[in-house]
Structure 1
Amino acid sequence: MNKLVLLACLLASSLAQAENNGFSLGLVMPYGGLGAKFSIGNDSTKYFGGVGYLIDQDDGMPSDKHSGTASFVIGFDHAIVNEYHTIGAAIGTISHRKYYFGDYNTVGLAANYTYHFSGFNQKSWMLGASLYGGKQNVPAYYRGGMTYGIGLTAGYNF
């Protein structure tokens, strides 16, 4: 947890010095689950780092055994057609599972589309979708392999 706080402070410090930066809160891949996304860039492209919290997926364990994990994401968004539509890519933690024998994260890639209601560089609500895939970090004898999915994203850019 201390590393998460340190990373957030370093990102906030460096972003405060940038000319075209952003901060947003939201859900799913670009935000690392439920989290925040810090970005720098220009009018058409922004590079970001996301720090969030992922709640573990249901694997049949009793509900009192569920937990979550800190997650990290880095990537970029690029405006297309006009300032309301962006596409991007990200790499980071895409899921978390708690098995009887331990906690495991899935790290992978995502392709994102986002619609910005007031524009890419404005204070605005955002809705979008992510296509993601990644390798489960579990022992090979227990459901190891690739994970794929589609996630709806929602957030607000400050």
Structure 2
Amino acid sequence: MLNKLLLITLLYLPLTAAGAEYEFSLGAGFQYSGIVGTQFAVKHKESKYFISVGLPGYSVGMQTTVLDDQRHSVGFSIGELQGIFDGDSRYGVFTYNYHFDGFKNTGWLLGAGIGIYDQESYKPLFNDEPVNPSSKAMFTLDIGYKF
């Protein structure tokens, strides 16, 4: 019993010493994994690392501030959108975000990104001919609110 308590205490110590902040946000765009989605982030110093689940996909990524005023951040997001009437698409984008109230504060943000997506082969609804996989460049706009 004492060994288990000691082990749990030792495992808990790094979590309390890390001092990381957590952020929850709602939004739309590839950083939020689709039409509408949620993002859970762990902030450490001037960066945040996030996972996102949305309709119809999921992603992971990170952002870091680039200027002293804390309103501009750059980063990346990689994920997958689940196809409903077509094949699943995997994507990777480099992102830029503008935080109206600052990177570390709650509030609105607008973002943009460029990257590529790779769509797997699929058969369209009511059609027996498969569509071949393709890779294409893309541009994305994102909007979100951080709580």
TM-score by length of 1: 0.70
Shift of 1:95: 6.7
- Secondary structure, counterpart of 2:31 in structure 1: helix
Q: Which deviates more, 108-117 or 145-154? A: 145-154
Q: Give the gaps of 5 or more residues in structure 1.
A: 1-13, 55-70
Among 66, 87, 96, which residue is 1:80 paired with? 66
Partner of 2:97: 114
Q: Secondary structure at the match of 1:30?
A: helix
May I ask how many residue pairs the two structures share in their alignment? Answer: 123
Q: How does 1:137-156 map to 2 (within 5 A)?
A: 137-139=120-122, 142-156=131-145
Percent of matched pairs sharing the same residue: 27
Q: What does residue 3 of structure 2 align with?
A: none
Aligned to 1:8: none
List, as ranges, runs of 4+ consecutive aligned residues in structure 1 with deviation greater than 6 Å.
Answer: none
Which residue number in structure 1 is paired with residue 26 of structure 2? 25
Q: Is 2:80 the counterpart of 1:93?
A: yes
What TM-score does the superposition give when structure 2 sets the normalisation length?
Answer: 0.75
Q: Within 2, Cα distance between the matches of 1:118 and 1:95?
A: 33
Q: Does the 8 A contact of 2:40 with 2:51 survive in 1? A: yes
SS in 1 for 2:88: strand
Q: Deviations over 1:15-38 (max 9, x none)?
A: xx9731101100111110110000
